[in-house]
Amino acid sequence: MSTPSPRVAVVVGGTRGIGREIARHLVTEGHRVTIVGRTADTGTATAAEIGATFLRADVSELAQVRRLAGELTSRHDAIHHLVQAADVIKATRVDTTDGFEVGFATNYLSRFLLVDLLLDRLRAGDAHILHVAAAGAAGRLRLADVPPGPRTGAFRAHGVGQGANDVYGVELAARLAGTGVTVHVANPGAVETGIRDEVARTPLGRLLNPLFARLMTVRQPAEVARTLLDTARRHPDAVLIGMKGPVPLPRRARDEALRRTLWTRTAHLTTPHPQG
């Protein structure tokens, strides 16, 4: 009898933090795992440590998402797990060469585009798509804020991306219903990772951080990774999940018109528009 080929997992943002622990967990389950990040040193070291393959890409740049998708498509006929956990929170606004705030581009636009470009492979693998974001936690989503305009600060622009993930995730799940692909958008709660380091170094961050640390339960990324994977498997139909189980859909994610319009707008934002 021939041995079945290993299931393929891709973890974008799998070089550090929550993504790294999800990747580690998938490796221990026997998946063939590729991790993606911007930094070659960190990526190579993590890949060697957990037994994964590293691909370098800065997914805040849409051209690099396209290149990454091309690379993954040429390597794999089917993808069984796609985890997207790449994100940054900047202390002050930084824009990508595409003209988007970098947090919004990383935590939202890149996810939409990568799923779109890998759809055939994800369908072929009856894939589980897991977006690690802030399910249910971001405030109201106004279409006028998508994409966040040039006067929107970095923190707010990052939050728009998180809120958009909920609305997009529910729409993606609806569009993929019956195909064998499942979709989750997760809220990991407060986790001890490096994502808030830059903000924590600002005067306001230095003031507020000790307060947050006292008010919130801060978990370790390994525990969070295990819990989120387990919750996703126990609740395949609950799109939004958190550390204690499914998260009720916020009003923005139940608004079908908003879901459709956000989809169309995001598809437009992620399509190349040649100059001239």
Ligand X SMILES: NC(=O)c1ccc[n+]([C@@H]2O[C@H](COP(=O)([O-])OP(=O)(O)OC[C@H]3O[C@@H](n4cnc5c(N)ncnc54)[C@H](OP(=O)(O)O)[C@@H]3O)[C@@H](O)[C@H]2O)c1
Q: Which residues bind ligand X (CB under 6 A)?
A: 13, 15-19, 36-39, 42, 57-60, 85-88, 106-107, 132-134, 188, 190-191, 193-195
Residue nearest to ligand X (CB): 17
Select 96 or 182, whichever has its Cβ closest to ligand X: 96
Q: How far apart are CA 196 and CA 88, in angstroms?
A: 8
Q: How far is the CB of 199 from ligand X (least distance, A)?
A: 11
Q: Give the residue among 158, 242, 171, 161 at the shortest CA–CA distance from 198.
A: 158
Which H or E run includes 18? helix 17-28
Select 110 or 182, whichever has its Cβ closest to ligand X: 110
Q: How far apart are CA 149 and CA 126, in angstroms?
A: 37
Select 98 or 116, whichever has its Cβ closest to ligand X: 98
Please tell me whether residue 35 adopts helix, strand or coil conformation. Answer: strand
Q: How far is the CB of 180 from ligand X (least distance, A)?
A: 25
Q: How far is the CB of 118 from ligand X (least distance, A)?
A: 15
Q: How far is the CB of 248 from ligand X (least distance, A)?
A: 18
Select 174 or 213, whichever has its Cβ closest to ligand X: 213
CB atoms within 10 A of CB 3: 5
Opening angle at CA 270, ends 263 and 86, nearest 5: 90
Judge contact between 153 and 93, C-beta under 8 A. Answer: yes
Q: How far is the CB of 95 from ligand X (least distance, A)?
A: 13
The DSSP string of 201-257 is: TSHHHHHHHHHHHHHSPEEPHHHHHHHHHHHHHH-TT-SEEETTEE-PPPHHHH-HH
Select 37 or 136, whichever has its Cβ closest to ligand X: 37
- The residue written with tokens 């919004």 in the block is 104
Q: How far is the CB of 25 from ligand X (least distance, A)?
A: 14
Select 88 or 253, whichever has its Cβ closest to ligand X: 88
